């Protein structure tokens, strides 16, 4: 084991499929840090086997010990009714309550970790993020300047600590608690002085068609497929074609396209 690890979370077979592409991208980046997959108990062994084959350390985790009222408030139907997603569509396999299991990374036996959602790809080595302080994350930019006021929890730096984890549990599930965007809203409140990473360390796919002037293949280090996933058949497939093709290359076993040869976004 290393003292540093990239960590992702897999809560179902679909996210295991995403994690395989992520793990391959990390290997191709040349990083020597550990690669850890936290997975909940309901994920079948057959879905996890390809991740083991790629050298990931598998860590089974339980969902957090939250109250019945907390669980009801953050169930998919209730959360989507009270705080609907209006900019994109979350896939049917997305279970909001599972997102809070991400906090389990503060229990891991590492000095420093970088968390990556299972729907991300690492396009260039990002080991420098291990030297960043806790808590660093990129703004949730994909539509306009107002996005800079919010952070995105798909990529962040952290320092595992049982004391921090205990403090999180004490803050998370209080009477009437409702975290509009689950772990993302909670982490922004728990770390109000979060350090901002460049958007290129967590480039959200909607930038491709909403903010094309911000897109630069020469600078993007981590690509994040927020909302619709690249292994789905969804309404934005035609608009995101080159990004989906890139993910499919990482998800397979063949060559990866040169980023220098990738087309630019539509303008």
Q: Domain 4-261 maps to which CATH number in 3.90.550.10, 3.40.640.10, 1.10.3720.10, 3.30.230.10?
A: 3.90.550.10
DSSP 124: S
Which pLDDT score is estimated for 65?
96
State the average pLDDT over residues 45-64: 97
Sign of CA dihedral 25, 249, 202, 18: negative
Instruction: Please state which of the ranges 82-96, 138-152, 170-184 shows the lowest mean pLDDT.
Output: 82-96
Q: How far is residue 144's CA from residue 142's CA, in Å, rounded to a whole number? A: 6
CB 197 within 8 Å of CB 116: no
State the average pLDDT over residues 122-129: 98
Tens digit of pLDDT for each residue in 239-261? Answer: 999 999 999 999 999 999 999 99
Q: How far is residue 246's CA from residue 236's CA, in Å, rounded to a whole number? A: 15
Q: 208 exposed, middle or buried (CB, 10 Å; 0-12, 13-18, 19+)?
A: buried
State the average pLDDT over residues 146-150: 91
Q: Which of 132, 223, 148, 137 is nearest to 187 (CA)?
A: 137
* Residue 258: partners with Cβ closer than 8 Å, 6 or more residues away: none
Question: How does the average pLDDT of the chain come out, rounded?
Answer: 96
pLDDT classification of 122: cutoffs 50, 70, 90: very high
pLDDT at 93 over 80: no
pLDDT classification of 2: cutoffs 50, 70, 90: confident
Q: How far is residue 89's CA from residue 85's CA, in Å, rounded to a whole number? A: 7
Tens digit of pLDDT for each residue in 72-84? Answer: 999 989 888 988 8
Q: How far is residue 122's CA from residue 129's CA, in Å, rounded to a whole number? A: 12
In the beta sheet, which residues pair with residue 122?
Answer: 222
Q: How far is residue 22's CA from residue 89's CA, in Å, rounded to a whole number? A: 22
pLDDT at 86 over 90: no
Percent of the chain predicted with pLDDT > 70: 100
Q: Which of 183, 160, 161 is nearest to 171 (CA)?
A: 183
Tens digit of pLDDT for each residue in 185-225? Answer: 999 999 999 999 999 999 999 999 999 999 999 999 999 99
Kindly list the domain boundaries of the chain, sorted by start residue.
Answer: 4-261
Q: Which of 155, 167, 160, 224 is nearest to 196 (CA)?
A: 155
Q: Which helix (H) or strand (E) holds 80?
A: helix 76-82
pLDDT classification of 123: cutoffs 50, 70, 90: very high
> What's the distance, CA 71 to chain centroid?
21
pTM of the entire predicted model: 0.96
Q: Which of 131, 149, 86, 104 is nearest to 10 (CA)?
A: 104
């Amino acid at each position: 084991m290393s003292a540093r690890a990239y960590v992702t979370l897999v809560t179902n077979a679909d996210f295991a499929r995403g994690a395989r592409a992520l793990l391959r991208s990390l290997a191709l980046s040349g990083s020597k840090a550990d690669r850890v997959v936290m997975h909940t108990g309901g994920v079948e062994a057959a879905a996890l086997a390809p991740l083991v084959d790629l050298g990931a350390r598998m860590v089974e985790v339980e969902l957090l010990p939250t109250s019945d009222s907390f669980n009801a408030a953050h169930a998919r139907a209730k959360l989507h009714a009270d705080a609907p997603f209006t900019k994109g569509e979350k896939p049917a396999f997305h279970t909001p309550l599972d997102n809070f299991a991400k906090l389990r990374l503060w229990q891991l036996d590492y000095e420093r970790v970088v968390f990556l959602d299972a729907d991300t790809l690492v396009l260039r080595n990002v080991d420098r993020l291990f030297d960043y302080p806790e808590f660093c994350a990129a703004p949730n930019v994909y539509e306009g300047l107002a996005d800079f006021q919010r952070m995105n929890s798909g990529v962040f730096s952290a320092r595992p600590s049982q004391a921090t984890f205990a403090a999180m549990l004490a803050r998370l599930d209080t009477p009437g608690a409702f975290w509009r965007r689950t772990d993302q809203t909670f982490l922004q409140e728990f770390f109000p002085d979060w350090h901002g990473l460049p958007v290129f360390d967590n480039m959200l796919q909607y930038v491709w068609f909403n903010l094309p002037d911000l897109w630069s293949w020469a600078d993007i280090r981590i690509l994040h497929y927020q909302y619709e996933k690249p292994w789905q058949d969804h309404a934005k497939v035609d608009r995101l074609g080159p990004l989906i093709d890139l993910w499919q290359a990482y998800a397979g076993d063949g060559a990866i396209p040169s980023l220098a040869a990738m087309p630019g976004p539509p303008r």
